[in-house]
Amino acid sequence: MKQSHILGLVLLCVLSGSGWILLQIYPREIGFPFAGCIHFAVISVVAAGYGMAKRMALPRASIGGWITLSGMGVFAVPALARGISTGAVSEFTSLALFCSIPLLTVLLLGAFEWTGVRAVAPRALLTSVFGVGGALLVLPATLPGSTRGWIFFSFMAVCCLLVAVAGIAMHRLIQGVAVAITLALTAFGCAALLGGYGVAAGWPQLTMRLIGFECVRCLLFDLPVMWLTVWLIREVDPGRLSARFLLVPLVTAVEGYAAMSGGVELEAGVGMILLTASGILLIRDKAPSGDEDVSSLHLR
């Protein structure tokens, strides 16, 4: 990985992992999925305006459609899954499930042939398993205790698989496409999906003050984070970039313990060490020489 990619990934993990601090300072006044719909709509308008001002080339309609769908899988599906599963699956369990995305990504890269996608080394599989173990030590995740809980737990697991597939597909699709164009297409699709769900669920009364507040929050936080994420998806292979799903909760956990000014339990400490090591090893993963486009896991 280039130094700029590593710095970008570190910045993304710090910003994403620190999002809870912003919510503590400025609590969200609009709930799911309406805030997300507003944020994605604003990002789409800003990115489209920037792309038009710079006269950036547009991809073919078919490619643009697939970019939109894959982007929805990367960004909107996690938000929709966590929002729908609220109350049935705990927040910690949801986070632990998303920590399995690196493992799913490695398995997908090994099980199927992805033309133009960099391979992963055999050790990446074990590395991602240790990452999941570290997440389970840090996060007090619990299994559902009801049939409804298991249904939504299974739904979340399927969504995690979809995110992994979408991440690999999006990496292939957006090569040579400007970040602003990709961002505009992706954010438009995400806004449409969340907006459609919001209409079906019942759209609330929104004032201009609330909408303006969410727009400012989006421009200051969500827009930079999403722009950086799309750039990294284009520039960094999916196996390495999947480390963010381990490092983001690590940043949140470290900040949480620091805010509480208390000691770190042995179990949590070991978990954070495993998350750190797994994330770094995934980032530093090197495919065998001469095997850049074919997986070395021999899972096919």
DSSP string, the chain: --HHHHHHHHHHHHHHHTHHHHHHHS--SS-TTHHHHHHHHHHHHHHHHHHHHTTPPPPPHHHHHHHHHHHIIIIIHHHHHHHHTBTTB-HHHHHHHHTTHHHHHHHHHHHS--TT-----THHHHHHHHHHHHHHHHS-----SSHHHHHHHHHHHHHHHHHHHHHHHHHHHTTTS-HHHHHHHHHHHHHHHHHHHHHHH-PPP--HHHHHHHHHHIIIIIHHHHHHHHHHHHHS-HHHHTTHHHHHHHHHHHHHHHHHT-PPPHHHHHHHHHHHHHHHHHHT--PPTT-SSS-SS---
Mean pLDDT of 3-31: 89
Tell me what the pLDDT averaged over the chain comes to: 89
Q: What pTM value is reported for the model?
A: 0.90
pLDDT tens per residue across span 229-277: 999 999 999 999 999 999 999 999 999 888 887 778 899 999 999 999 9
pLDDT tens per residue across span 166-196: 999 999 999 999 999 999 999 999 999 999 9
Please give the pLDDT value at position 204: 76
Mean pLDDT of 19-29: 82
Q: What are the extents of the domains in the chain?
A: 31-283
User: Where residue 292 falls among pLDDT bands split at 50, 70, 90?
Assistant: very low
User: Where residue 288 falls among pLDDT bands split at 50, 70, 90?
Assistant: low
Q: What percent of the chain has pLDDT over 90?
A: 68
Please give the pLDDT value at position 287: 61
Please give the pLDDT value at position 209: 87
